[in-house]
Structures are given as C-alpha cells and as structure tokens.
Amino acid sequence: MNISVLGCGRWGSFLAWYNSSIGHKVINWGPCDAPSFLKLKNEGKNEWVTLDPAINLTCDLQTAVKSADIIIIAIEAQGLRGFLREILRLDVKNKTFVLCMKGIELTTGKRLTEVAMECGVHKNKVAVWVGPGHIQEFVKGNPSCMVIDSYYADLTAKLVDTFKSPLIRFYRGADIVGTEIGAAAKNVMGIIAGVLDGLGLPTLKGSLMARGSREVARLMKALGGSELSAYGLCHLGDYETTLFSQHSHNRRYGEMFVCGERFDYLAEGVTTAEAISKMAREHGVDVPLTDALCLMLKGEPAGKVIEGLFSREIKGEFE
C-alpha cells in the first residue's frame, strides 16, 4: 500500500516510521523551510524517530499526493481547512484521507471530518485515527491500543486491516461524532491535569477523570453521538497518556501555564477548550471543567476558579 503522511513533526514523523515498519511504501511530506523537515532531511532523524532510508522525504506536495492510496494528515488541527483547500487543487480522486489530529475548528465549531467534507472530501473517503500512545514508548516496542472511525463500517474495517500490527491493536469505531469529540476533549482534560500538577493538587486527577468523562459524555449525546464513547479509547482510554505522562504536551502546558512559565510546543487543548465551550453553550450542555479552563486561560486565578467549582450546587453524581 502506498501511504503518504502529510506533516513531519512529532506525530507525522512517527506515522511515517510506523507505516514503513509494517511494510507500506511511505512518503513523508513537510514544508521545505520547516525546522522539522530540515532536521529530518539533514540528519535522517529527529528527537523521536530515525526514518528508514526507504521513506521518501519530500517537500513537494504534488509528489506526495499523486502516488498515495491513503493520505494521512498530521498537522495542527486549526490549519486543516486551509491545508485541504491546497491539497484538493490536486488530483485526489479515489484517495482515502485519514485525519491523525485531535481538535475542533475554533472559528466554526466543526469536527475535523466535517471540515474535510466541507472542503470537498467525500464522506466515504475520510476517517480518523485516534487513541492513546506516546511515540517514546512505541519506538521502544511497547504496544498500545487505538481506534479508527469513519462514517462507513466497511471503510473503517479496511483501514484497521491496513494499519494493524503487533505494536498497535486497533479497534473499529462506530460513532464518528463521539470519537472526534472525545479525542479533542481529551486534550482539554490534559491541560487541566497539568494545572492540578502545577498547583500541587494531583490527587484531584481521579475526580477529573470521572467528572471530565461525564461532561464529555453529555456533549457527545447532545451532538448525536453515543455517551459510551466517552469511556472508550478516544477519550478515557487516552487519559493515562495525557493526564499523567511526562510526555504529554497538553499536561505539560497546563503545569507550566499555572506556574507562569512558557511552553514552546503545540498544545491543541488551548483552542479546543474555547471551541468546546462555545459548542456546549449552543447545545445547552453544562461543561464546568472546560469552562473553568477557559476562565484560567483568560487570566482568572486558577485557585479561585477551582474554588468556584467546589462551590457549585450539590447534585446527584449521574444527574
């Protein structure tokens, strides 16, 4: 199978490495002047992976798109719409797109597959690949489980069969709405976990896991998805790698943010929190943890915000 991975940052370079390791013919694309691309071009590796020489590293987008059977996109979520408009100027007939990022478009509140379809990708040619896994563990040979979801069961099954290996056990998703919402919201909870670490309140992570999953489940249901997806691999299943791991960018961002330190890597949960808060208001869904993070990001003292959460009206746990 010919696989083109568009994006050569942390996750994109891993996806190229992974697909090459399981026998696919791989092209890894990145912008010609991007530091991540230049490092791979000059050194053949970055701080996470060493690319197999068989991988074709290129900054020519047409070359990357033309030969692909499957196009994997691994870029910042907020840049997806503009990037797809550029890709769709090329010949992408009969090509399948797999979105390997987690987020909600801030300006529209759209899920990423919705963005893809609005740009012109056919509904039966787009899927998502999400779930727990840190590159640092994968490259050591430590396995994990992930999920692939789409609007069509046959496409989901085909992609699971294409990407499966002893390193990653895939499950077939059957709730694209819940899968996308859960994967995006996971990063929001990761930032909150980092805030708790920075405040010296890590014991509250148990409460965060339980209550965070409940508010995400409510949102999934309101949007037409299944509440159960909040407790699957797309969300709760990804908590360990986000709420507790030192590798998590979102958790680390939250910790450094509350300590007044600068974090220089991408933390998708920042824009996702605002997007989910807006989405929840429009659908009449209560998301107190997400709203609390938004207040912190706008400058409200974290301690005061947490006090506000504890002073909320008492209610039944599953009301």
Say what angle helices 205-222 and 176-198 make with each other, to 10 degrees.
Answer: 150
Q: Which of 186, 221, 298, 315 is catalytic?
A: 186
pLDDT of 226 reads: 98
> Looking at the domain covering 2-172, what would its CATH class be?
alpha beta
In this prediction, residue 215 carries a pLDDT of: 97
Take residue 280 and report the two structure tokens written for it: 């929840």
Q: What Cα–Cα distance (Å) separates residue 171 from each residue in 130, 156, 252?
A: 10, 9, 28
* pTM summary value: 0.95
User: How much is the pLDDT for 318?
Assistant: 85
Considering the chain, what percentage of its residues have pLDDT values greater than 70?
100
Residue 93 has pLDDT above 90, yes or no: no
- Mean pLDDT of the region 192-217: 97
Q: What digits encode the pLDDT tens for the residues 160-184? A: 999 999 999 999 999 999 999 999 9
In this prediction, residues 97-113 reach a mean pLDDT of 96
Q: Where are the domains of the chain?
A: 2-172, 177-310
Distance CA 57, CA 225 (A): 38
Those residues whose C-beta lies under 8 Å from the C-beta of residue 291, and which sit 6 or more positions away, are 277, 280
- What does the alpha-carbon distance between residue 285 and residue 223 come to, in Å, rounded to a whole number? 10
Q: Which candidate, 82, 99, 107, places its Cα nearest to that of 271?
A: 107
**Mean pLDDT of the chain, nearest integer:** 96
- What are the backbone dihedrals phi and psi of residue 157, each rounded to the nearest 5 degrees, phi first? -65, -40
Query: According to the model, what pLDDT value does residue 282 have?
Result: 95
Residue 304 designated active-site: no
Is 177-310 a CATH 2.60.120.260 domain? no
Q: Is the pLDDT score of 280 beyond 90?
A: yes
List helix spans (H) across 109-248.
112-119, 135-138, 153-163, 176-198, 205-222, 239
